[in-house]
Structure 1
Amino acid sequence: MSQAHQGYCGIGTEHAPGGFQEHCSWAQYLAGHHMLLAHAHAYRAYHGLFPYSSGKIGIANSGAWIEPESAQEAAFAEEVRQWSAFWFTHPLFEGDYPPAMRATVDKKSKEEGRTSSRLPYFNEYERQMLIGASDTKRQLIYC
């Protein structure tokens, strides 16, 4: 998540490639989309070339984990987790982005008059390639 966001929405060239602020509304999603597909291809290639290897492939995802302080904050906390913690892990186990993320980006894209969502869709082949493309479930949480 941070690579897609900071690399394409970061200020200046602090994070390569940088300088894409005017395209940030869609570039970070496209970058993240292709990072996921690249991961799935690498996973399938590794296990195809080395089927008897004991090597494990996973993803080191980081994100915010928010616990609500009240019942009123529960829905907000869940949406933050879906956007932050599950952007890159949900597709590897479910074949698509978290539901709250998909719904929000699709809705805002339509309101902006876009002909397609800023968050790309996976086709069926890509979904099948993504599902299970991780040997471990790990989440880095920074407080």
Structure 2
Amino acid sequence: MHCQNNNAHPPGETAVPTQDPNWNYQTHLQSNPNRLRRDHMVNCLLQGMKTAIQKAVNYEKVREIYQDHPENPAVLLSRLSEALQTYTNINPYSLGRRAVLAMHFISQLARDICRKLQKLEKGPHTPPHRPQADILELAFTVFNN
């Protein structure tokens, strides 16, 4: 149930009244309009709290993730993406934020892969605006050789 403006689910003071609406919650019927209004009010309040919360940002948790030696680069990329979503306010899949994911991915690959990428002149000098698939493909090439 969303807090949208329609007749079934009214917005504003109608959904979250400022005064006692005299709703009767004693009836146990699911179709009770008072119960539906209460549930809608609770959903609106919860949605409002979720959008108002400032997420704590912890880049250290993201920096702690490194590639385990036998680990596939795609697994590392997946773990970094998940960590960026969990510990920061960054969506690594958005167009403007792929550079952040690419930067962490390149810098946190296993050291031998980083060195080989640098020898290919594609390591830390890899432009962050390159498609994620290209960077992952380079890492796979080095990982498999």
The TM-score range, normalised by the shorter chain, is under 0.3
Looking at CA atoms only, which structure, 1 or 2, has the larger radius of gyration? 2
Task: Identify the structure with bigger relative contact order (alpha carbons < 8 Å, sequence gap 6+).
Answer: 1
Q: What TM-score, normalized to structure 2?
A: 0.26
Q: What TM-score, normalized to structure 1?
A: 0.26
